[in-house]
Amino acid sequence: MSARVLVGVKRVIDYAVKIRVKPDNTGVVTDGVKHSMNPFCEIAVEEAVKLKEKKLIKEVVAVSCGPQQAQETIRTALAMGADRGIHVEVSGKDYDNLGPLQVSKILAALAKKEETSLIILGKQAIDDDCNQTGQMTAALLDWPQGTFASEVVLEGDKVKVIREIDGGLETVRLKMPAVITADLRLNTPRYATLPNIMKAKKKKIDVVKPGELGVDLTSHLEVLRVDEPPQRQAGMKVETVEELISRLKEAGRM
């Protein structure tokens, strides 16, 4: 099996950081703020590396789209066990307008170029919460998709995916090549150990431009305004059900 897996990793603001909106309301403050790999992307990398360790696939390629710093995220994926990385260089205005549609076009182009059997992505990014890239990529490639995966099993030229859906768990069998998006319970990502980070220094990261892949990055979306969520108001305690009803009526909620 010469199976190659492409894993998308996104550099986002670290989950533990307190987000603040820029004074001009055009976005959030990113300058000097701690960034790290999107947690769902970590789970995706972990799954790919696990498949490689089980010798079910040959190579794991980590991909990230963004400015120079995106390479840090790729390095983390390499330290977790990916074999090589591809940095699609996007900066400035193009980066500000980079959304799921643009990224999925890039991933689709790369998948064809790199003869990929499987694309594993995180189900969504914790900064925009779009939950679209995986689905769009599959559509552009006309490949089957198994999203919100909580279990992935390779069976020859097919892949069985157990999906977490509202009603419970759904099992689908996809014919490869396919796109999978990772959900929380798929696995527990390993730590990038320091010795592995050192070994990862020797692994290659290729840099490509979107133009070279024939991808058009124009966005059809415009962010008008970003605001902080409304301040949480204090609640109030009531003693009896009657009081609850009267208060709700007062507030115009009934």
Partner 1 sequence: MSLNRLVTLSRRVTWGSLIPLFGPNGKVVSNVQFRRLFRTQTPSLAFAKDLFLGKVNKAEVFPYPEISREELEEINQFVAPVEKFFSEDVDSQRIDREATIPPETLEGIKQLGLFGIQVPEEYGGLGLSNTMYARLGETTSLDGSIAVTLAAHQAIGLKGILIAGNEQQKAKYLPKLASGEHVAAFCLTEPGSGSDAASIQTRATLTEDGKHYLISGSKIWISNGGLADIFTVFARTAVVDKDGQKKDKITAFIVERAFGGVTSGKPEDKLGIRGSNTCEVLFENTKVPVENVIGEVGGGFKAAMNILNSGRFSMGSATAGMIKKLIELTAEYAATRKQFNRSISEFGMIQEKFALMAMNAFVMESMAYLTAGMMDKPGIPDCSVEAAMVKVFSSEGGWICVSEALQVLGGVGYMKSYPFERYLRDCRILLIFEGTNEILRMYIALTGMQHAGKILTGKIKEMKKGNIGVALQMFGKKLRDSISTKVDLGLTGKDGVVHPSLTESTKKLEENVHFFGNTVEGLLYRYGKTIVDEQMALKKVADVLINLYAMTAVLSRASRSISIGLRNHDHEVLLANTFCSDAYYKNNFLMTQLQKNAPENNDDSIKKIAKDVLAKRAYICSHPLDRTF
- Contact characters 199-218, partner 1, x per CB under 8 A: --x-----------------
Interface residue with partner 1, options 16, 221, 234, 251 (CB under 8 A): 16
Number of C-beta neighbours around residue 45 at 10 A = 32
- Residue 230 interacting with partner 1 (CB under 8 A): no
Interface residue with partner 1, options 194, 224, 236, 251 (CB under 8 A): 194
- Residue 4 interacting with partner 1 (CB under 8 A): no
Total number of residues that touch partner 1 (CB under 8 A): 15
CA nearest 124: which of 103, 144, 139, 106?
103
How far is it, in rounded angstroms, from Cα 17 to Cα 208? 31
What burial letters (b/e) apply to 97-120, b meaning 16+ CB within 10 Å?
Answer: bbbbbbbbbbbbbbbeeeebbbbb
8: left (phi over 0), alpha (psi -120 to 50) or beta: beta
How far is it, in rounded angstroms, from Cα 126 to Cα 109? 25
Give least dist CB 192 to partner 1, A.
Answer: 5
Give least dist CB 164 to partner 1, A.
Answer: 23
Give least dist CB 68 to partner 1, A.
Answer: 11
Give least dist CB 16 to partner 1, A.
Answer: 7
Interface residue with partner 1, options 38, 64, 76, 147 (CB under 8 A): 76
- Residue 184 interacting with partner 1 (CB under 8 A): no
Region from 113-121, 149-157, 177-185, 187-195 binding partner 1, contact rule CB under 8 A: 187-195
How far is it, in rounded angstroms, from Cα 30 to Cα 230? 21
**H-assigned helices in 115-164:** 133-141
Report CA 164 to chain centroid distance, whole Å.
17
Q: Which is nearer to partner 1, 68 or 171 (CB)?
A: 68
- Residue 75 interacting with partner 1 (CB under 8 A): yes
- Residue 191 interacting with partner 1 (CB under 8 A): yes
Gyration radius (Cα) of the chain, Å: 21
- Residue 45 interacting with partner 1 (CB under 8 A): no
Per the structure block, which two tokens stand in for 89?
């260089």
In this structure, are residues 107 and 133 in contact, taking their beta carbons and an 8 Å threshold?
A: yes
Residues 54-73 that bind partner 1 (CB under 8 A): 72
State the residues that interact with partner 1 by CB under 8 A: 16, 32, 36, 72, 75-76, 79, 191-195, 197-198, 201
